Amino acid sequence: MIRAEQISAIAQSLEAEVIAIRRHIHQNPELSFQEYQTAAYVAEQLQSFGIKTVQTIAETGIVAIIEGKNPNSKTIALRADLDALPIQELTGVAYQSQHAGKMHACGHDVHTACLLGAAKILNETRLEWEGTVKLIFQPGEEKLPGGASILIQEKVLELPQVDAIIGQHVMPFLPVGTVGFRSGLYMASSDELYIEIIGKGGHGAMPHLCLDPVPVAAQIITALQQVVSRKNNPLVPSVLTIGKVIANGATNVIPDSVKLEGTFRTFDETWRAKAHQEIEQTCQQIANAFGQEAIVNIVKGYPFLNNNPELTQRAKNAAIAYLGAEHVVDLDAWMASEDFAYYSQLIPATFYRLGTANQEKGIVHGVHNPQFNVDEAALKIGSGLMAWLAIQELEA
Ligand code: NI
């Protein structure tokens, strides 16, 4: 059986190559569902490693298969995402984005490079482990409906049937050299709220001749907080944020309508559905009380992400064997969302975090920030660990 030191030594020998891959992808970011060049580059790399089964899926995704000994025994999927964000990069690094207004500001360049590194390691060692590894390079993580949901429809978890899936994401608040795991509920479902309160505008000095939607909108914003604080079981984390309010009147003009936009996030599907009803009713009834109307549109986003406890425990133990216990931490759940959640609703899944921060080098910015960058020492850890976790899970 292959040992952690062997994988780690191969990852070390591939470090410069994986960093070069990451920089190439970083310089050439593409937005969600437009990852044509990135997908072509990934396929080219996989083929250059000698991997035979490399297929396009959902136009801008790539799926590859590496068979070890006894390939029908078990299949583990490793997933990376390919897309960048509509952000103008401000890092000033030599390899910064060549595409104005587009940037790999969520580390998906790192995920892709690490998975390519893992692919090379797995392919080189395939006579030393049992089972099959499916490599999923997924488009459109950042944009609804999420590349994961489309790939699932296109049967990415079948042929061969995937027994478990592992995803890796950078974590700018964890020091480089460290990884984090979380068993059970990890990330929230996320839905977008679009509310329009329709009144009747007019002169600001004559509200009695208007139906002023502004104070109604103010009451709705306040009342919606009670959906979360009074209607929800307090043991289920939930958050409702209104982040955009447009009342486009003037100092002396009452507008015809007010638009509100926000997000609702939680960790329970039953409550999620009920909350949608509560939000709609609260808006309509408050508007109706003042002779106005509310139009509520809730766009469902990703479901909550549940890390399978047994798989996560095994992966964490394998990470401890690979990196040492002092470099493996437990993560808190948080209310951000991630489309990897779709996989976790169907099969045992675990989504873990790769530390990329380095205070001394000033690498401290969060994801989705124009200054976001990673300590590239994370790349050899991310590529070696992904390969190691797949092999360990195949042999579990
Ligand atoms: Ni991301």
Rounded to an integer, what distance in angstroms lies between the CA atom of residue 358 and that of residue 14? 22
Q: How far is the CA of 70 from the centre of ligand 1 (A)?
A: 34
Task: Calculate how far, in angstroms, residue 333's C-alpha sits from the geometric centre of ligand 1.
Answer: 16
Residue 389 has pLDDT above 90, yes or no: yes
The residue ranges of DSSP E strands in 82-203, in sequence order, are: 132-138, 164-175, 179-181, 184-187, 189-198, 202-203
Structural domains present in the chain: 4-186+304-395 (3.40.630.10), 191-299 (3.30.70.360)
How far is the centre of ligand 1, averaged over its atoms, from the C-alpha of 142 (Å)?
7
CA of 182 relative to ligand 1 center, distance in Å:
17
Do 359 and 178 form a contact (C-beta atoms < 8 A)?
no
Beta bridge partners of 350: 166
Residue 265's identity, in one-letter code, is R
Angstrom distances, CA of residue 139 to CA of 61, 136, 151, 219 = 5, 9, 9, 40
Q: Which helix (H) or strand (E) holds 124?
A: helix 108-124
Q: Report how far residue 209's alpha carbon sits from residue 201's, in angstroms, rounded to the nearest whole number.
A: 9
Give mean pLDDT, residues 201-215.
Answer: 98
**What six digits make up the tokens of 54?**
């490399």
Per-residue model confidence as pLDDT tens digits over 209-237: 999 999 999 999 999 999 999 999 999 99
How far does residue 338's CA lie from ligand 1's centre (Å)?
7
pLDDT digits over 317-337, tens only? Answer: 999 999 999 999 999 999 999
Residues with CB under 5 A from ligand 1 (ion): 106
pLDDT band at 279 (very low <50, low <70, confident <90, very high): very high
The pLDDT of residue 172 is above 90 = yes
The pLDDT, as a whole number, for residue 53 is: 97
Average pLDDT of the residues in 82-107: 97
pTM for the full model? 0.93
pLDDT in tens, 251-269: 999 999 999 999 999 999 9
- Residue 1 confidence class, pLDDT cut points 50, 70, 90: confident
